[in-house]
Structures are given as C-alpha cells and as structure tokens.
C-alpha cells in the first residue's frame, strides 16, 4: 500500500511488521539448551524410580539368594540355642533320673512329680514362664550380670529336655535285668558302685537313640523363641519379608528356605538315630 509524501506528494512505502522469525539454525541453537534441561530433569526423576522398580522386581529366588547369609546366621543361632539347651537339660536330667531311682520315699516322689510336670506342660508355656519370671539381670558378689532374652530362652528349653532325659535314664536303668544287680551285689559292690560302674555303662546304648530324638525336637522347637523376642531365623525371615515390601509371592520362598534348613539339619539326625537303633537292637 502506498502513501503520499507530505513534502512532495510522492508516495512512500509504509513499514510493515513481519512475523518474528529466526533462522532455523539459530532457533535450534536457542531451543537445544531447553531440551537438555528438560531431559536432565526427567533423568533425575526417572533414575531413582527405575532403581526402586528394579529392586522391587527381584525374583523370589534372587531375594532368597540375596538374604541367605543373614538367614543362615539366624539358623546358626537356632542351632546354638538347641545345643546349649540340650547340654544343660542332659546334665540336669541325669541327676533327676537318678533321683527317681534313689532309695527312700521323699526324693523319688519329688523327682517323679517334677518330671511329670515338665514333660506334660507345653514347651511354649515353659518358655513364657522362664522369660517373665527370671529377672533381666542378677547381682553376683556386687557385679551385675545381664541375662539377655536368648539366655532365658535357653533355660526355658532346657526344662522339657531335663524331664525327657530323666525319663530316658529311668527307663534305661529299669531295662537292665535284675541279674546284673544281683551279680554286682554278690561281688560286694555297693549300690552306687553298681549303678555307676555296671548299670549306667550298659544303659548308654539304650539312651542314645531316644536322646537324639529329643534333640531333634528341641532343635525344631527353637523357632518358638521368636515369639518372646529372640532374634533367630524365623524372626529374621519376617524382617526380610517386610524389608522386601511384604510382597505376597515372597512368603512361600522365604519361609520355605527356613523349612529346608531345618529339614536338612534334622533329617540326618533322624536317619542316624534309626541306624543306631538297628545296631543296638533297642527297638
């Protein structure tokens, strides 16, 4: 569109505002940093999310392999508790069993009553009994000795072991023929000498298979310590399951791993016990 020049009447071209445009290379140069910042922001958000998603996406087998060292540590603690409880219960059970065989009336009856009580009470009840009645620490000659939960649990498990071992000792001694006692008496042996030198050595092979059966039972029962706060394999299994987000598909593999550990530990004991029974012919 032309316009007249006010000085000479000559038409002039009016200025026209064109749309703002940049060359393609300059536009790309200006927009490229914005794209880079956007990609960087997306990366900062996506990388942690991907990492969390990758950890949660572990297969059940990978989760078991990942936590196996920790779970096996807890299983070793179960084994340690069972061994200590078995040692304490065996020593106390031998004494209780011999008390049932003592001469007189009062001591054998008291020993028999104690044996029947601890044999016929649920092990979990005995465990709670010890956990809540035994103090957290004792003072010996002015020195405070702490009693952690696993120590009290060990004593709790040793009580049924004591009662069962006492019954094993009593039954083994009673199974020896009376002729052994009569022969020892004819040789001027005292009752104590007859018991320790003649009778009990013959009872060893009779007592060993049932004693091993009791140990298998106490080893499997140590998982009950998790109920009273002892950190053993079952407790660690529950903690691992919670740490993995409580995924339902992990429940069977994790607890199946605990089942497998106890089976692999107790089954050879059962087979060895059966072999001893066949060898000693104590069935």
pTM: 0.74
The predicted pLDDT at position 210 comes to: 92
Mind giving me the DSSP string for the chain? -EEE-TTT--EEEPP--PPP---HHHHHHHHHHHHHHHHHHHHHHHHHHHHHHHHHT--HHHHHHHHHHHHHHHHHHHHHHHHHHHHHHHHHHHHHHHHHTSSSSHHHHHHHHHHHHHHSS-HHHHHHHHHHHS-SEEEETTEEEE--HHHHHHHHHHHHHHHHHHHHHHHHHHHS-HHHHHHHHHTT--HHHHIIIIIHHHHHHHHHHHHHHHHHHHHHHGGGGGGGT--SHHHHHHHHHHHTT--GGGHHHHHHHHHHHHHHHHHHHHHHHHHHHHHHT--
Looking at residue 7, its pLDDT comes to 52
Please name each of the domains of the chain with its CATH number: 60-134+145-281 (1.10.3720.10)
pLDDT average per 10 residues of sequence, the chain (283 residues): 49 49 47 47 40 56 92 94 95 94 89 93 90 82 85 93 94 89 87 88 88 93 89 91 88 93 94 86 54
In sequence order, the β-bridge partners of residue 12 are: 3
The CB density around residue 124, as the number of other CB atoms within 10 Å, is 14
What is the predicted pLDDT for the residue at 57? 57
The pLDDT of residue 276 is: 86
Q: What is the per-residue pLDDT for 15? A: 52
């Amino acid at each position: 569109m032309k316009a007249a020049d006010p000085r000479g009447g000559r038409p002039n071209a009016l200025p026209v505002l064109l749309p703002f445009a940049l060359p393609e290379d300059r536009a790309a140069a200006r927009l490229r940093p914005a794209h880079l910042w956007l990609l960087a922001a997306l990366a900062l958000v996506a990388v942690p999310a991907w990492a969390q998603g990758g950890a949660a996406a572990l297969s059940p087998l990978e989760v078991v392999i990942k936590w196996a060292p920790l779970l096996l540590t807890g299983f070793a603690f179960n084994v340690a508790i069972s061994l200590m409880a078995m040692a304490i219960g065996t020593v106390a059970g031998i004494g209780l069993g011999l008390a049932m065989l003592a001469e007189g009336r009062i001591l054998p009856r008291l020993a028999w009553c104690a044996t029947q009580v601890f044999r016929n009470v649920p092990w979990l009840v005995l465990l709670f009994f010890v956990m809540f009645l035994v103090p957290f620490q004792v003072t010996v000659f002015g020195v405070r000795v702490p009693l952690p939960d696993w120590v009290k649990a060990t004593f709790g498990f040793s009580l049924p072991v004591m009662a069962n071992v006492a019954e094993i000792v009593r039954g083994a001694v009673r199974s020896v023929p009376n002729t052994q006692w009569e022969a020892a008496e004819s040789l001027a042996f005292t009752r104590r000498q007859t018991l320790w030198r003649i009778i009990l050595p013959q009872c060893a092979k009779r007592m060993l298979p049932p004693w091993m059966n009791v140990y298998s039972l106490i080893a499997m029962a140590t998982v009950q310590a998790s109920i009273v706060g002892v950190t053993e394999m079952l407790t660690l299994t529950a903690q691992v399951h919670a740490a993995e987000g409580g995924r339902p598909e992990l429940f069977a593999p994790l607890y199946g791993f605990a089942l497998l550990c106890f089976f692999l530990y107790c089954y050879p004991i059962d087979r060895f016990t059966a072999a001893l029974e066949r060898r000693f012919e104590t069935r």
